[in-house]
Structure 1
Amino acid sequence: MAAIDVVVPNYNYGKYLRTCVESVLNQADVAIRVLIIDNASTDDSRDIAHSLAQDERVELILRESNAGTHASFNEGIDWAQNDYFLLLFSDDFLVPGALKRATDIMEQNSAIAFCYGRDVAVHGDDPVPIMPGRTSPVAFRLHKSRAFIESFCRRAVFQIPGSSVVVRTEVQKRAGHYRTTLPHSDDYEIWLRLAMLGPVAELDAVQVGLRTHDSNRSREFAARQLEHILHTAAAAESFFNHEGGSLEDCGALRRLARQGVVGRAYWSGIAHLLRGDMEAMRLLGFAIRSSPVSAVVPPVSYLMSRPDLAGRISSFFANSARSRHIVF
């Protein structure tokens, strides 16, 4: 039976914490340890954490002062000792069978650095949907290390539900801690580092529920498209300034990443412009300042690199009369 350590960072998400942790404890056919790290919450999180710790598989770190999210992430990495490691945010939850599916695939191929799956969206305080436990094995796609890194560079984005990422613990410890210099794109950067150490498995299965709500930091941040792109660029630069600098042809990859950032900003700007959104000027201005040639020659290669291009374009034209969003 595979053994997995799950770290649940929490700050003032007491109303979601029990659902999150119980979704881990109810996983079948895997050995579980859970560490709840509470960052000095002011709601009822501590009481709920103590209640959950009646299960001997649950351990607690309850801080008296808020040390920030990176401290929780990195303390969890230091704590982990079983074969596999998962960082699960306390407003998210696992679907039945998720950890068994992930670890089965990684047990079959000891080279895999980490795996991830798809997500189901839950809005606000809506109840967790009933999800049938999908049996193993499931289909998956194996991304070679360089191809995974190159894909990110080309598109300047990862479409990975962070709470679904199951990492081989010894690989996580080799990759090291999350970088505190990257407040909003530390996950992108560490996934690149992890991918240097082995291929990545993409599961064809829903693995996690992601909850969006008014106090969700990522939801607020995603609304500011240019800021998100700038933080993505910072993750790429940090990666190539450190571990990524040892990759063969790292200079070409860095240039590709910079081009990807420009392409993403440019086409995001075009999408905003077609909606009559003034954010378009900021996005297009950044793209043109970064690559003046894009003022006369649109970065079409970026569009062609998007596997979801046809769907995004058809969705845009189908919904343009209703001013729906298209996001690159």
Structure 2
Amino acid sequence: MSSVDIVIPNYNYGRYLRACADSVLSQDIDLRLLIIDNASTDKSVEIACEIAARDPRVELRLRRENLGPHCSFNEGIDWARSDYFLLLFADDLLVPGALRRAATIMDREPDIAFTYGRDVAIKGNEPIPHINRRPVHVPYRLHQGRAFIKQFCRLGVFQIPGPSIVIRTSVQKRVGYYRTELPHSDDYDVWLRLALHGSIAELDCIQAGIRSHDANRSSELRARQIMHILHTAQAAECFFAHEGKDMPDSAYLLQLARRGIAERAYWSAVSHIQRREPGAMELLKLAFTLRPRTAILPPLGYLLRRPDTVRRFKALIGAGNVADVRVA
């Protein structure tokens, strides 16, 4: 049977660490767990030691100084030796059976670089919602690597939950480390690089829980959407300046990415205006800079390309409020 290595980087998330580790250790598959604490000042180290003391599958790296998240991510890549690899933040969690479902599909399809599924949202310290256990064999869609990259370029964003991503370890080793020059979009760059080495399986089920709270970096970025979009643009430029430059039609794909990011910025600005939130003018300026024609013609085609447009407008109609539709 295949095995999975899971790395939980942690910094001051002791209040969430136990639930995260328990969601891993309760998985019905051969696994190892590495918790890397980055010199936390809360009770994280005490909690990590308690977790390791009761389960021999758990290893610890307890740092005396904070070396930054990239050092933890990349140490985890070096440590991994099992068939599959997962990087799971300490404030997120796996749902029951997630690892076996992913491994079963990847065992069957050796060309798959990584799998992902849907997520369930958890707000702050709310209880973890009950999720009905799914069977081992679930429906899934295969995306060829180039098509996956092209879809990112067309939308200017990835719509996949990071905690659900299970990677073939040999591919992760080939792709290498997270780039320190991309502090907020390093994951986008890695996913693009992984897609150069195989197909991607999208599981039709919930695989992970993502917790949103004031302290996590995704919440910090979404508070200023302009920054999230700028970081996405940096990831695209970095990818096509390095590994992606050797792709067929790489220049076309880079232009497509700039267009997708511009059109995403445009509709994010519209959402901000509808919600009377600050930042709309910054987003419009970015859209007009990257794609000047958006100043004259609204990019309606972008909404048609987004797979979540119908769902968003159904929510809009049901709520009777245009401000309920936000372009992420």
- Asked whether the two chains share a fold, i.e. TM above 0.5, the reply is yes
Structure 1 match to 2:151? 151
Q: Could you tell me how far apart the structure 1 residues matched to 2:304 and 2:325 are?
A: 20
Partner SS, residue 33 of structure 1: strand
Aligned counterpart, 1:65: 65
Is structure 2 residue 31 aligned with structure 1 residue 9?
A: no
Distance 1:319 1:279, change over 3 A: farther
Contact 1:316-1:326 at 8 Å conserved across structures: no
Give the conservation status (yes or no) of the 8 Å contact 2:94–2:209: yes
Partner of residue 33, structure 2: 34
Change (3 A) 1:226 1:320: farther
Aligned to 1:221: 221
RMSD: 1.3
Report the secondary structure of 1:127's partner residue: coil
Moved over 4 A (4+): none
* Amino acid corresponding to residue 52 of structure 2 in structure 1: A
Say if 1:284 and 1:43 are closer, same or farther in 2 by CA, change over 3 A: same
What is aligned with 2:173? 173
Q: CA deviation at 1:322?
A: 7.9
Alpha-carbon distance in 2 for matches of 1:129, 1:303: 31
Offset at residue 278 of structure 1 (A) = 3.4
User: Could you tell me which residue of structure 1 aligns to residue 49 of structure 2?
Assistant: 50
* Cα deviation, residue 7, structure 1: 0.2
Alignment length, in residue pairs?
327
Please give the residue correspondences for 1:33-182 in structure 2 after superposition, counting only pairs within 5 Å. Answer: 33-54=32-53, 55-182=55-182
Q: Deviations over 1:135-160 (max 9, x none)?
A: 11000010011100000000011111
Work out the CA distance in 2 between the residues paired with 1:291 and 1:231. 17
Counterpart amino acid of residue 316 in structure 1: L
1:122 counterpart SS class: strand
Q: CA deviation at 1:246?
A: 0.7
Q: Distance in 2 between matches of 1:139 and 1:189?
A: 27
SS in structure 2 at match of 1:53: helix
TM-score normalised by L of structure 1: 0.97
Instruction: Give the TM-score, by structure 2 length.
Output: 0.97
* Cα shift at 1:227: 0.7
Q: 1:19 to 1:278 in 2, by over 3 A?
A: closer
| 1:237 equivalent in structure 2 | 237
| CA apart distance, 1:285 | 1.4
Q: Distance in 2 between matches of 1:237 and 1:207?
A: 30
Give the aligned partner of residue 22 of structure 1: 22
Q: Distance in 2 between matches of 1:221 and 1:198?
A: 30
**1:66 shift after superposition:** 0.3
Q: Deviation at 1:223?
A: 1.8
Is residue 312–residue 325 contact of structure 2 (8 Å, CA) maintained in 1? no
Unaligned runs of 5+ in 2: none
Amino acid at match of 1:228: H
Taking the aligned partners of 1:326 and 1:317, their CA distance within structure 2 comes to 13
Q: Distance in 2 between matches of 1:85 and 1:268?
A: 34
The whole-number CA distance in structure 2 between the counterparts of 1:286 and 1:88 is 32
Deviations 1:47-80 (A, max 9, x none): 1111111211000000000000000000000000
Q: Distance in 2 between matches of 1:207 and 1:244?
A: 29
Give the secondary structure class of the aligned counterpart of 2:100. Answer: helix
Deviation, 1:43, is 0.6
Q: Percent identity?
A: 56
Q: Which runs of 5+ in 1 are unaligned?
A: none
C-alpha displacement of 1:323:
4.0
